[in-house]
Amino acid sequence: MLFVQDQYQYLVTKSMTQEHYLVSQFENKEYLLKLESLVQGQKCIVVGSLTAPAEQVLQLLLLLHSLREQGALQVILFAPYLGYQRQDSFEIKTCCGLQWADSMLFAAGVDQIITLETHCPSFLPLLKVPVIVHNSSIFFEEEMTYFIAAGFGFIFPDAGAVARSSWILEKFPQVNYGHFQKNRVHGVVQFEKFQGKVGRKVMIVDDIVDSGQTLVQLCIILRQLGVEEIVVFVTHAFFHGQAWNDLWSLGVKLLFCTNSLPKSDQVRHPQIQCKFINFLLQKYL
């Protein structure tokens, strides 16, 4: 049985049959959720995300918990972008968002999570809820092969991006690549201590573009190093604000992403190519 949050309705194809539920609010703004189908003994797949806004998070947790309490045999969360992935390390006086998200999903009764390109794969074995991760090879490998033939190498923003992209290094071991040390000083991203090789044509590979400001800063540095042509591959594209529009004046010819987030499915730009993930959802139904 398939349940889909409103913001992910664009992933539903004509061949999919989804169940429906109603969400209302009391005068004090507490939510009330009612299922329109009996789920006892059924395998239930929920398409949703823990990303903002907060109302979306609360409604997702309420839906997942309702399915478990109503006797679903199995509750699976298909989260194209899981949410709270960048908050994955312990720091004094700072929340651990990934561990919080895992605890909430575990408490809600989730048996399994299916997602794309996590920010820190090494943390996954430590989570309470088992996670199946699909890396970006199924979306980007063909295009990367094309640009490699045209003389492009790889640039990773930091060592974390290198670790996430191990499949690239295994698939294309002969291709030059390099990465920076990325630091945040008073909220400002700085790229330092470049390691590796960089040519005049590069592919930047990363998991997330939020406002695009960090990517813009990286492109400025690459231009200073003599890079002339840039192609960007990013799995999750929020396209918040307007900073990402500056990319085209900094040598970026194309940006490839997936429609793992609603905004990336909606954006229309001649230099942005969005890969659809609908087939991946169909695989689990």
Cα separations in angstroms, 88 against 9, 85, 120, 139 = 29, 6, 7, 25
- What are the mean pLDDT values of the chain's consecutive 10-residue runs (285 residues total)? 98 96 97 97 98 94 98 98 78 80 96 93 86 96 98 95 94 96 80 91 97 96 96 98 96 98 96 97 95
Helix (H) or strand (E) holding 138: helix 137-149
Reference 81, options 51, 56, 124, 54; nearest CA is 51
Residue 121 pLDDT: 79
**Strands (DSSP E) found in the chain:** 2-4, 18-19, 21-25, 31-35, 43-47, 74-79, 112-116, 131-134, 153-156, 177-185, 188-196, 201-209, 229-237, 252-258, 272-275
How do strand 188-196 and strand 177-185 relate by DSSP bridges?
Answer: antiparallel
Judged by DSSP in three states, 53 sits in: coil
Residue 90 pLDDT: 67
Asked if 218 and 203 touch (Cβ cutoff 8 Å), the reply is no
Asked if 160 and 205 touch (Cβ cutoff 8 Å), the reply is no
Residue 92 pLDDT: 73
Cα separations in angstroms, 90 against 86, 97, 120, 266, 271 = 11, 10, 13, 35, 38
* Cα distance between residue 183 and residue 192, in whole Å: 8
Which residue, chain included where needed, has tokens 């998200």?
101
Structure-token pair, residue 275: 């890969």
Residue 91 pLDDT: 73
Residue 46 pLDDT: 99
Cα separations in angstroms, 139 against 164, 278, 280 = 15, 12, 11
Residue 87 pLDDT: 66
